[in-house]
């Protein structure tokens, strides 16, 4: 979720900067992936060069039919002349103006500095702005129109968030309350010593009351359903403040009513849906299970086949929405809509998760419902949405219904303050514990019975959960100490020792260790094991390769500018066996900039450090660049296929059990040979398809026990060799442990090797 700081500060008064807030949240609450700067730059007084303007004159440019010549009051006494290409405004319009010297966005999204200019012979002393030129949206069809009544010359930053900082946060599965601005505000207030600000919203009165019929046939799957009817609705674009907030939060503006539902979901974390009431044939709402084989065309245009596990929202005659996941196309709010039925409900999470996963359909709403949304949040969400639709769409509230069989009671947990001290390893005064819990929304009586707030009722049910709430607030005060060592004897197994050695080898080669998910969205092995009930579609399959996680990690580092990049991971894979449980294998994989050469050099380093012989074979693998891939006994290496990641990337993956198999349990001593070696080189021509490894195998086999080294050191192709052939040069070293070999003896062994190569490959001796 993306949380604009200007929006967050409407619900919490706090002096902490974005970076300080991010640090505290990272330690105590959730992962803040990054802090984004959005909008125009806030540097060198740039924000002071943007002002609210009022158009006092607008005429056609004398030398251009598509331009307007405007006089704009920006609070300087005399209006500024500005040439503008938009025609969606006229005299009296309140607009956003950039003055010369300001830095704005071009149509291509690039920043540039605005200067005074002459356009078709007329001076232009500024720019009347569209929303994309401020980074507030993507629209460039016309200039932004601000609400009337704002004084010309007012700093634009006081009216719109033309520069903002956005927290990109990822809460844990149990903290769905943090997928809301109100929830984040509570957390920031508690952690940073801020003051939580109330949301003062007056629920509009019901005018011309009418009955709203709602029937819930499956209260276990839908424990609460609030429906509100609004009439005389005027569908149109949202005001710029609302569009800008949704854009900064990563959402697309659609229309005022739909934008309100998304906005309120972001505020309270309780998803809403708006139906065109005139398209509800039965005139009521019935929440029921789907019939087997029932079909619904959802808002994305897909016809979905359903079964009795799926929860449906119907109008009494037909389905109009897939409950908690996506609305139906037939009841969608359009520009012609004048009556809206607003849904603010609560849904059981497990059923929603199963339907979402089975249909492969995830939405902002289902992402929240499957984690367990607070049923008490539906009412404030409904009130805020109703207020905004009334204010922004000129609507009237004419009816409301709230169906539930009683909301769940708040859990009560007994806390022993002294147990907090023992578990945390820090003395936390009981009064401070009480104060911390109070800031987090818990109520503590004199007997230390702790009443849990409704938004934490699902995950705070035991004393240890309450202790954790205190602990995460004081976590920064816990000293960094090593655990007490008692008399324990132990040692690493041989496999553990070798795994650590491989890690040390790669770190010494300049690699950094990566940790990626064992559960992935997809896997290249069609037999990979699927989880029967995955938490998310992104973590639905047990991986059979490390490659996808390493590629994703490399991509993140490229985007962050962290180059050069060399990453490795040593972890388990889960290979399908046809049985219930997979075969777990330890593997090491790596990704490094530099293509095939870098991958080969890394693998050679591993083999050399383990005193193993590296034998490489040509291979064709789908994940690797054609012609730049190879297999070895323990795995594969090569250059990553360019379709997977831009640039030249070397990759490898080795099975550790296979890699370690040739390593002897005991190393036997051999006496050092004191007799000199006789070195000779040969160069032979062979067919292009003959692999270097095969040549070396024949050389070693034919050389006899006195051949101590056979090393290929050159490959040559050219006109002297002929088409379809290559010359391979091999260095030979002969040495006896009993005597000094003569040159003739070495020559005889060399000729024996040449004959073997000729017999096996048709090789011809060049030198």
Q: Phi then psi for 269, rounded to 5 degrees? A: 75, 10
Q: Phi then psi for 474, rounded to 5 degrees? A: -100, 10
Residue-by-residue DSSP string for 387-444: HHHHHHH--EEEEEEEEES-PPPPPEEE--HHHHHHHHTS---HHHHHHHHHHTT-EE
C-alpha to C-alpha distance for 180 and 162, rounded to whole angstroms: 22
- E strand residue ranges, 656-754: 678-687, 707-716, 725-734
Q: Phi then psi for 386, rounded to 5 degrees? A: -60, -45
The residue written with tokens 């064992």 in the block is 518
CATH code for residues 214-404: 3.50.40.10
- Indicate if 413-477 has the same CATH topology as 214-404: no
pLDDT at 247: 95
C-alpha to C-alpha distance for 565 and 640, rounded to whole angstroms: 14
Report pLDDT digits (tens) over 614-660.
888 888 899 999 889 999 999 999 999 999 999 999 999 999 999 99
C-alpha to C-alpha distance for 510 and 500, rounded to whole angstroms: 16
The residue written with tokens 């009443």 in the block is 451
pLDDT at 488: 64
C-alpha to C-alpha distance for 11 and 196, rounded to whole angstroms: 6
Query: In whole angstroms, how far apart are CA 644 and each of 65, 147, 534, 623?
Result: 49, 48, 25, 8
C-alpha to C-alpha distance for 313 and 320, rounded to whole angstroms: 6
- Which sequence spans correspond to the domains of the chain? 2-40+165-196, 46-161, 214-404, 413-477, 494-660, 678-765
pLDDT at 721: 87
Report pLDDT digits (tens) over 148-190.
999 999 999 999 999 999 999 999 989 999 999 999 999 999 9
Query: In whole angstroms, how far apart are CA 467 and each of 415, 420, 444, 699?
Result: 8, 5, 13, 70
Burial class (CB in 10 A: 0-12, 13-18, 19+), 480: exposed
Instruction: Write down the CATH superfamily of domain 494-660.
Output: Bira Bifunctional Protein; Domain 2 (3.30.930.10)
Phi-psi region of 173 (alpha: psi -120 to 50; beta: other; left: phi over 0): alpha
101 touches 49 (CB < 8 A): yes
The residue written with tokens 């009494």 in the block is 316
**Which residues in the chain show pLDDT less than 50?**
none
C-alpha to C-alpha distance for 538 and 656, rounded to whole angstroms: 27
344 touches 268 (CB < 8 A): no
H or E stretch at 304: strand 303-305
Cα 546 from chain centre = 18
> How many other C-beta atoms lie within 10 A of the C-beta of residue 304?
21
Query: In whole angstroms, how far apart are CA 629 and each of 577, 617, 623, 641?
Result: 27, 9, 9, 10
C-alpha to C-alpha distance for 519 and 11, rounded to whole angstroms: 37
2-40+165-196 is classed in which CATH architecture? 2-Layer Sandwich (3.30)
| Residue 712 token pair | 């290929």
- E strand residue ranges, 503-623: 512-513, 519-520, 541-542, 566-575, 583-593, 617-618
DSSP state of 38: E
CATH code for residues 413-477: 3.30.56.10
Residue-by-residue DSSP string for 87-148: -S--TT-EEEEE-TT-EEE-TTS-EEE---EEETTEEE-SEEPPGGGGTS-S--SS--BPPT
| Residue 525 token pair | 């092995």
Instruction: Write down the CATH superfamily of domain 678-765.
Output: Ferrodoxin-fold anticodon-binding domain (3.30.70.380)
DSSP state of 158: G
447 touches 415 (CB < 8 A): no
CATH code for residues 46-161: 2.40.50.140
Burial class (CB in 10 A: 0-12, 13-18, 19+), 754: middle
| Residue 343 token pair | 């849904």
pLDDT at 693: 84
């Amino acid at each position: 979720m993306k949380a604009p700081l200007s929006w967050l500060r409407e619900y919490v008064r706090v002096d902490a900067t974005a970076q300080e807030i991010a640090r505290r949240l990272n330690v105590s609450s959730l992962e803040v992936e990054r802090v984004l700067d959005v909008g125009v730059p806030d540097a060198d007084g740039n924000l002071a060069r943007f002002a609210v303007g009022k158009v006092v004159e607008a005429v056609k440019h004398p030398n251009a039919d598509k331009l307007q010549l405007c006089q704009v009051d920006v609070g300087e006494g005399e209006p500024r002349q500005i040439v503008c290409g938009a025609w969606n405004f006229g005299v009296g319009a309140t607009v956003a103006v950039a003055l010369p010297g300001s830095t704005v966005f071009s149509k291509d999204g690039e920043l540039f500095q605005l200067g005074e200019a002459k356009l078709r012979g007329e001076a232009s002393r500024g720019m009347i702005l569209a929303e994309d030129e401020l980074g507030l949206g993507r629209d460039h069809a016309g200039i932004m129109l601000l609400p009337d009544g704002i004084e010309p010359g007012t700093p634009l930053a006081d009216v719109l968030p033309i520069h903002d900082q956005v927290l990109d946060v990822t809460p844990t599965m149990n903290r769905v309350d943090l997928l809301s601005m109100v929830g984040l505000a509570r957390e920031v207030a508690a952690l940073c010593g801020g003051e939580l600000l109330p949301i003062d919203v007056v629920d509009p009165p019901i005018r011309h009351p009418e009955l709203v019929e709602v029937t819930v046939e499956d209260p276990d799957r839908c424990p609460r359903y609030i429906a509100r009817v609004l009439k005389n609705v005027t569908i149109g674009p949202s005001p710029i403040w609302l569009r800008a907030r949704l854009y900064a939060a990563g959402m697309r503006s659609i229309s005022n009513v739909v934008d309100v539902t998304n906005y309120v979901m972001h505020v309270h974390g309780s998803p809403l849906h708006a139906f065109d009431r005139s398209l509800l044939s039965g005139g009521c709402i019935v929440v029921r299970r789907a019939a087997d084989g029932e079909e619904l065309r959802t808002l994305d245009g897909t016809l979905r086949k359903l079964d009795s596990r799926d929860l449906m929202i119907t109008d009494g005659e037909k389905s109009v929405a897939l409950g908690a996941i996506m609305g139906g196309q037939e009841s969608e709010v359009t520009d012609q809509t004048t009556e809206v039925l607003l849904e603010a409900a609560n849904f059981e999470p497990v059923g929603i998760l199963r339907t979402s996963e089975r249909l492969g359909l995830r939405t902002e709403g289902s992402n929240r419902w499957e984690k367990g949304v607070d049923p008490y949040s539906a009412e404030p969400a409904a009130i805020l949405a109703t207020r905004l639709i009334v204010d922004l769409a000129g609507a009237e509230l004419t009816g409301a219904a709230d169906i539930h069989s009683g909301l769940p009671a708040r859990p009560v947990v007994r806390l022993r303050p002294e147990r907090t001290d023992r578990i945390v390893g820090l003395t936390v005064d009981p009064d401070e514990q009480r104060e911390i819990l109070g800031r987090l929304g818990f109520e503590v009586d004199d007997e230390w019975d702790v009443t849990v707030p409704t938004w934490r009722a699902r995950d705070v049910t035991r004393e240890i959960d309450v202790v954790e709430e205190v602990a995460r607030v004081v976590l920064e005060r816990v000293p960094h100490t090593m655990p007490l060592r008692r008399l324990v004897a132990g040692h690493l197994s041989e496999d553990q020792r070798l795994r650590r050695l491989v890690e040390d080898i790669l770190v010494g080669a300049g690699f950094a260790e990566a940790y990626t998910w064992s559960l992935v969205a997809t896997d290249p092995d069609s037999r990979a094991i699927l989880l029967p009930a995955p938490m998310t579609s992104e973590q639905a399959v047990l991986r059979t390769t490390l490659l996808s996680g390493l590629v994703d990690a490399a991509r993140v580092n490229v985007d962050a500018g962290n180059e050069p990049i060399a990453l490795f991971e040593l972890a388990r894979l889960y290979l399908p066996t046809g049985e219930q449980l997979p075969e777990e294998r330890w593997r090491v994989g790596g990704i490094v900039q530099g293509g095939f050469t870098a991958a080969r050099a890394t693998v050679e380093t591993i083999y050399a450090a383990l005193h193993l012989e590296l034998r490489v074979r040509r291979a064709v693998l789908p994940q690797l660049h054609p012609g730049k891939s190879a297999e070895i006994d323990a795995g594969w290496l090569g250059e990553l296929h360019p379709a997977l990641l831009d640039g030249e990337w070397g990759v490898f993956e080795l099975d550790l059990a296979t890699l370690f198999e040739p390593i002897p349990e005991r190393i036997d001593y051999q006496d050092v040979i004191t007799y000199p070696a006789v070195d000779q080189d040969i160069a032979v021509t062979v067919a292009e398809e003959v692999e270097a490894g095969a040549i070396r195998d024949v050389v070693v086999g034919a050389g006899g026990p006195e051949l101590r080294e056979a090393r290929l050191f050159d490959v040559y192709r050219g006109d002297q060799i002929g088409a379809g052939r290559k010359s391979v040069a091999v260095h030979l070293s002969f040495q006896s442990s009993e005597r000094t070999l003569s040159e003739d003896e070495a020559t005889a062994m060399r000729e024996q090797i040449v004959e073997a190569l000729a017999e096996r490959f048709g090789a011809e001796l060049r030198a």
